[in-house]
Chains A and B, each alone.
Chain A
Amino acid sequence: MKKKSAIFLAVILTLGLTACSSKGDSAENAGAGGETREVSGETEASGEAIELTYWYWADTTEQSDLMKSIVAEYNATNTMNVTVHAEENAWNGGAYVEDMYVAVAGGGGPDISTFRISGASMFHNGGYLYNCTDLVNGWEDKGALADSIWESISESTGTPGEYYSVPWTYETLYVYYRPSMFEELNIKVPETYEEFMTAIEKCTRDTDGDGKTDVYGLSLRGPGGQEPWYYWLYANGATFDDLTSEAAVKGMEAYKSIYTNGWAPETAPTDAYSEIMANFKSGRAAMVIHHVGSSVDMTDTFGEDVAAFTLPASEAGNGWDALCDTELVIMSSTKHPEAAFDFAKFMATGKGQEMWFEGTRKCNLNEKISAREDFQNNQFLKTSLEGLDHAGMFPFTPHCSEFISTTWASITQRILLDQLSVEEGMQEYKTALYGE
C-alpha cells in the first residue's frame, strides 16, 4: 500500500513538473467585450460599443510604440464606436503564425491580426479565416491596391476570386552596402548574380595584415534566411517545382561556398536578424540582405554612407526576389467582422497605413502612398520596387510555415557544417516543404 501511495505521489509530482505550458494563453476570446450579438453577414448597428482584440508583431521597440499610437488614433477617430485592444506577440522566428493557430484552434486568439500568407492555406483548411470577399468587393479603395496583390491573396487559400486577407505591407529583399567601401575597393554596384558573387569575394578582407579576415563580404543569415537562400537557387536556374534538380544543387553549392570560402562570418549558421544587422552596422560585414524595414535604422547609423541594390538576375536572366508580405486577417470566430474590416481598411489605405509608412518606410504600395513625394524620393523604396519585377513567394503548402520557422534552418546548418551532402540536403528541403 505504501509503495502504491509512493508511486501515486510520484506520478502526480512528475506530471505536475512535466506538464507542458500551452503557448498563447494570454489570448482572449474573439469578440471579447460587452457585445455578444451575432452580426456575421449583417450590418453592425451604429453607435453600439464594439471591442476588438488585435494581435500584431513588431520588429523593434520603435515599431511597437508606433503600432500602439496607430491603434490609439483609430480608437479616437473611428465612427463605428469601435475600441481596438492591441496585443503584441513575439514574431518568434516566424512561429507567430503557428502560435496564433494554436490559440485560435483552442477557441481563443484575436478578432483581427497581422499575418503572413505562407500560413493562409493552413488557417483556411481549419476554417479559421473570415471570408472578406464581399467586404473587399464593396470597398472603395480596393482598386488602389495592385491586382497582382489581390491575386496572390486569392492564390494563398486556393480560392480564385475570394479574399481571406487584406494587404498591409509588401517589400522585396535587397542588398545593403556601404558606397565608401565599394569605392575603396573599386567595386561597381553588381548588376548580375555573377558580379554580386565577385563583390562578396572582393569585400572579404584582412584589413590589419594579421592574416585573419576582419571584414566579410556578406553577413549570411542562419535562422530566417530562407528567402535569400532561394535567390541563389533561382539564380542558378532552379525553381520551386524541383528542389532536387541539377540547377538547385548547383545553386546550393554556390550558397554554401559563401560560407566555406570564408566570405561570411564563421557564425553564419546561427546568425539571426540581430546578428546580421550587428555585423553590417559594426563594419564586420560589407553587405547584408534585408528589406526596407531596416532602412530608417541604416540611415540613422550611416547617414549618406549606405545604399542598396536589388538582388540581381544572373547573366542567363535567372532572377528571383522574395516578396516579403504582411497581411491582416479577420478570424471567422469574430462577432464583429464589419468592425474588424473597418479597422483593416484604416490600416491598409487609411491613416494607419500612412503612419506606418512614415515610421518604418514599409507600406502596401497603394496608389496614395506611392504618389507621395517621400515615397518617390526614397532610394530604398525605389530599390524595393525594382525587385517587384521578379518577386515571388514560397509555395503555399501546409508545411510552409514550419519550413520557414524551423526546418529550413536546421537543414541548412547541417549542409553548411558538412553533416549532409548538398544532394541529401536538397532532398530534405523538398520533403520538408512538400511533405512525404
Chain B
Amino acid sequence: MSGNRRRWIEKKALWGYLLVAPAFLSVCLVVFIPAAKALIMSLQSYDLRYGPESIAFIGMKNFGQIFRDELFWSSFLRTLLMVVVCVSLQFILGFALALLLNRGFYGRGVVRAVSMIPWVVPGVLVGLIWRWMFDGNYGVINDILVKMGILDSYYGFLAQPVSALWSVFVTYIWQGIPFFMLMILAGLQGIPWDVYEAATIDGATGWQRLIYVTIPSIKNSISVSVMLRIIWVANSVDVIFNMTEGGPANATQTLAVYIYQKAKSMNLGYSSALALLLMAALMCVAVPYMVRTFRSETG
C-alpha cells in the first residue's frame, strides 16, 4: 500500500465509517425505506377500498387535493395552535418545577419520582383517564367544579368543540411537564455552583441569575427538549384518539389524527401525502436547530 493510500485511509477514518455502518444501515432499513415507500405511495391512487388493482401513478394529484381539502387546513392550523399552546405551557411549568426540585428540601426524592408519573403513563391510558375525568355526566372535574360553585351543573367538556380542544390541551400539558422538568433539571445540575456564587457576590438578583446565568447555561438542554416536544406533540395520536377520536365535529382533529383516520380508512396514498407534508413542516423546526447546533459545536 502506498504512503498516499495509507494517508487517505487515515484521513477518511475508514475505521470510523465501518463502525458507523451498522447503525447507518439500520436507520436506512427502518427509516429511509419506509419513508421512500411513503413518498412513492403519495404519488399513487393507493386506496385499498377499491382493491389492489386500482393502484396507479397519479403524480401530484393527492397533493393538489390536499390543498383544496378544508379538513387539512383546519387540522393543520389546529396542530399549530396545539404545539404553540401546549409546548409553551409545558416548558414554563416544567421549568418552574425543575427550579423547585433543584432546591434541597425534605422529601425531594419522593416529589421528583411522583412528578414523573404523567410521563411514564402510556398515552392510551392518559387519554382514557382524562376522558373519564372530563366526562360530562360522572367526571371528577365536573364534580369538583360544581362543589366549588364554579359550575351550576355538569358540563360536557368533551362534547362541545371549544371546551373539547382545551381539555385536550390540558391533558397534553399535564403529560408533557415532567419531560421538560427532567431535561431542565439535568441541565441545572450541571451548572457549577461557583458561577452562582460569583454572580451573587457581583450583586445579581435572583431574577438576574436566572436570566444571565441559568438560562444561558442550559440553552442546549432547552432547545433539544423544545424541539423534541414540538415533534412529539405534532405527531401525537394516542391521547387525542382515546379522548375524543378527533371530535366532536372534528374540533380536536390535528393533522396527525387526520393522517391516522385517512390511513385507517385505507386511503394510504392520500394519508402518505399528508404525512409527507407534516414531515416537511417538522423539518422546518429540526433543520434550523441542527444547523445552529453544528455551528455552535464547531465554534
Q: Do A and B bind each other?
A: yes
Closest Cβ–Cβ distance, residue B31 to chain A (whole Å):
5
Chain B hits for A225, CB < 8 A: none
Q: Is B221 an interface residue (CB 8 A)?
A: no
Q: Is A99 an interface residue (CB 8 A)?
A: yes
B291 is contacted by which of A3, A16, A405 (Cβ under 8 Å)?
Answer: A3
Within 8 A of A (CB), among B145-162: 152-156, 158-161
Chain A hits for B38, CB < 8 A: 20
The CA of A18 and the CA of B79, in the complex, are separated in Å by 14
Q: Is B247 an interface residue (CB 8 A)?
A: yes
Within 8 A of B (CB), among A81-121: 93, 95, 98-99, 101-102, 105
Chain A hits for B48, CB < 8 A: 101-102, 105, 122, 126
A267 is contacted by which of B153, B159, B282, B289 (Cβ under 8 Å)?
Answer: B159
Within 8 A of A (CB), among B19-57: 27, 30-32, 34-35, 38, 48-52
Whether B246 pairs with A410 at a CB distance below 8 angstroms is yes
Q: How large is the interface on A (under 10, 10 to 19, 20 to 34, 35 or more residues)?
A: 35 or more
**Contacts A6-B291, A266-B136, A269-B249 known; 15 new A-B pairs at CB < 8 A:** A5-B294, A6-B290, A7-B291, A10-B287, A14-B279, A14-B282, A15-B35, A93-B245, A102-B266, A122-B266, A266-B154, A269-B159, A275-B137, A410-B250, A414-B249
Q: Encode contact with B along A377-388: 1 for CB under 8 Å, 0 otherwise.
A: 000000000000
Q: Is B12 an interface residue (CB 8 A)?
A: no
Q: Encode contact with A along B221-250: 1 for CB under 8 Å, 0 otherwise.
A: 000000010011001000000001111111
Q: Is B283 an interface residue (CB 8 A)?
A: yes
Chain B hits for A266, CB < 8 A: 136, 154-156, 159
Tell me what chain B mostly uses at the interface: helix, strand, loop, or mixed.
Answer: helix
Whether B52 pairs with A126 at a CB distance below 8 angstroms is yes
Chain B hits for A152, CB < 8 A: none
Q: Is A45 an interface residue (CB 8 A)?
A: no
Chain B hits for A249, CB < 8 A: none
Whether B264 pairs with A405 at a CB distance below 8 angstroms is yes
Chain A hits for B164, CB < 8 A: 270
Whether B279 pairs with A284 at a CB distance below 8 angstroms is no
* A17, A122, A278, A409: residue with the most chain B Cβ atoms closer than 10 Å: A17
Closest Cβ–Cβ distance, residue B159 to chain A (whole Å):
4
Q: Is B200 an interface residue (CB 8 A)?
A: no
Chain B hits for A223, CB < 8 A: 245, 247
Closest Cβ–Cβ distance, residue B234 to chain A (whole Å):
8
The CA of A212 and the CA of B228, in the complex, are separated in Å by 47
Closest Cβ–Cβ distance, residue B256 to chain A (whole Å):
9
Closest Cβ–Cβ distance, residue A138 to chain B (whole Å):
29
Chain B hits for A275, CB < 8 A: 135, 137
Whether B138 pairs with A282 at a CB distance below 8 angstroms is yes
Chain B hits for A11, CB < 8 A: 283, 286-287
The CA of A390 and the CA of B84, in the complex, are separated in Å by 53
- Who on chain B is nearest to A400 by CB? B49
- Who on chain A is nearest to B267 by CB? A402
The CA of A212 and the CA of B232, in the complex, are separated in Å by 42
Inter-chain contact total with CB atoms closer than 8 Å: 161
Whether A101 pairs with B266 at a CB distance below 8 angstroms is yes
The CA of A61 and the CA of B283, in the complex, are separated in Å by 43
Whether B160 pairs with A406 at a CB distance below 8 angstroms is no
The CA of A284 and the CA of B138, in the complex, are separated in Å by 10
The CA of A409 and the CA of B38, in the complex, are separated in Å by 28
Whether B294 pairs with A18 at a CB distance below 8 angstroms is no
Q: Encode contact with B along A402-436: 1 for CB under 8 Å, 0 otherwise.
A: 10011001100110010100000000000000000
- List 15 A-B residue pairs with CB atoms under 8 Å apart, sorted by A's residue number: A3-B294, A6-B291, A10-B289, A19-B31, A122-B49, A125-B49, A125-B51, A127-B51, A265-B156, A267-B135, A267-B159, A270-B244, A282-B137, A284-B137, A413-B250
Whether A18 pairs with B235 at a CB distance below 8 angstroms is yes
Whether A398 pairs with B50 at a CB distance below 8 angstroms is yes
- Who on chain B is nearest to A93 by CB? B245
Q: Encode contact with A along B115-159: 1 for CB under 8 Å, 0 otherwise.
A: 000000000000000000001111000000000000011111011
Whether B137 pairs with A267 at a CB distance below 8 angstroms is yes
Whether A265 pairs with B137 at a CB distance below 8 angstroms is yes
The CA of A406 and the CA of B257, in the complex, are separated in Å by 12
